[in-house]
């Protein structure tokens, strides 16, 4: 099958307008493609028939007389020059209508040459535009790559800023916490100790104790928050320790609103706890 490019090259080759390497490549392609050779032959015949497109014209009458006079020239050479001049017909101008076929063929030839030149210029301009498009596409791809890199850097920076903000917030929140060490007040358990961490914004705390002796079933350890606004320590719940390790981990809240947790204490009370401390203090913050 002949494509559009082969069709254009065949038309130019039929009019002998291809030159140089382009002509050599097309001739080599003609040797391999029988259909293309047939198309070039058809176009050559069409080009040759262009001169026959003009209407037929009658030859001038003087032409016939000149032909007859030329044929009988040897017989009339012996006559007097004056008689020869008298018998010779007068030349007449050739009618313009007889030039029309040749003018038409010349015009078509010029048009074909001009069309071929325009085609070659258009091909050159098209190649230049393709090169410009290729360069623009490359520049666009480089810009997209740079934009992707910038987006990744911005995303990474955003994550780092968010992590730093969370860290600073956590450190700021931690600065508001009250952390107290509770020392043992019992002579028989001097190694017992505890840590209380109080969050004033939530009015909630965490108590971690270790090495406290296990209690009898009828007794509990009870935690107290000492706030100067109240005359007595504020109850914060009861807890038990592991009988083997003497450890406990307790999340607690006070029974009353706490403005200032000055100290924390742990007392030994009866099972279930009491409203105010009654038993001995076993742990106390300094």
The answer to which of 1-5, 108-112, 150-154 has the lowest mean pLDDT is: 108-112
239/268 Cα distance (integer angstroms): 10
35/41 Cα distance (integer angstroms): 10
226/12 Cα distance (integer angstroms): 108
Beta bridge partners of 205: 198, 252
Q: What pLDDT is recorded for position 44?
A: 80
Q: What pLDDT is recorded for position 189?
A: 67
Tens digits of residue pLDDT in 38-97: 888 887 877 776 656 555 556 666 766 777 777 666 455 555 455 445 445 454 554 544
Six-digit token pair at 245? 């390790």
Which is nearest to 254 in space by CA: 222, 215, 211?
Answer: 222
Contacts of 203 (CB under 8 A, 6+ apart): 253, 254, 257, 258
Instruction: Catalogue all structural domains in the chain, each as residue range(s) with its CATH number.
Output: 178-285 (2.60.40)
User: Mean pLDDT highest for which of 113-122, 126-135, 246-255?
Assistant: 246-255
Mapping DSSP to helix (H, G, I), strand (E, B) and coil, where does residue 253 land?
Answer: coil
Residue of higher predicted confidence among 131 and 121: 131
Q: What pLDDT is recorded for position 268?
A: 94
According to DSSP, the β-strands at 248-252 and 263-270 are unpaired
- Say how far residue 47 (Cα) sits from the centre of its chain: 52
The percentage of the chain sitting over the pLDDT mark of 70, rounded to a whole number, equals 70
């Amino acid at each position: 099958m002949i494509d559009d490019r082969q069709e254009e090259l065949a038309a130019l080759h039929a009019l002998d307008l291809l030159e140089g390497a382009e002509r050599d490549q097309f001739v080599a392609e003609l040797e391999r493609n029988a259909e293309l050779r047939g198309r070039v032959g058809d176009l050559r015949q069409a080009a040759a028939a262009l001169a026959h497109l003009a209407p037929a014209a009658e030859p001038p009458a003087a032409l016939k007389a000149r032909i007859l006079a030329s044929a009988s020239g040897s017989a009339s050479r012996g006559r007097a020059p004056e008689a020869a001049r008298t018998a010779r017909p007068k030349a007449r101008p050739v009618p313009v209508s007889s030039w029309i076929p040749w003018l038409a063929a010349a015009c078509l030839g010029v048009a074909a040459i001009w069309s071929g030149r325009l085609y070659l210029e258009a091909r050159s301009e098209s190649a230049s535009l393709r090169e410009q498009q290729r360069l623009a596409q490359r520049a666009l791809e480089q810009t997209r790559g740079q934009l992707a890199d910038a987006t990744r850097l911005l995303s990474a920076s955003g994550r780092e800023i968010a992590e730093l903000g969370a860290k600073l917030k956590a450190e700021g929140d931690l600065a508001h916490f009250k952390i107290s060490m509770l020392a043992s007040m019992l002579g028989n358990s001097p190694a017992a100790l505890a840590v209380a961490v109080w969050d004033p914004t939530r009015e909630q705390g965490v108590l971690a104790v270790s090495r406290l002796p296990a209690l009898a079933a009828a007794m509990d350890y009870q935690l107290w928050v000492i706030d100067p606004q109240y005359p007595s320590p504020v109850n914060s719940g009861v807890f038990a320790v592991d009988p083997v390790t003497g450890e406990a981990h307790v999340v607690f809240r006070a029974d009353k609103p706490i403005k200032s947790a000055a100290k924390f204490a742990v007392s030994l009370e009866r099972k279930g706890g009491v409203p105010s401390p009654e038993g001995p203090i076993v742990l106390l913050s300094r």
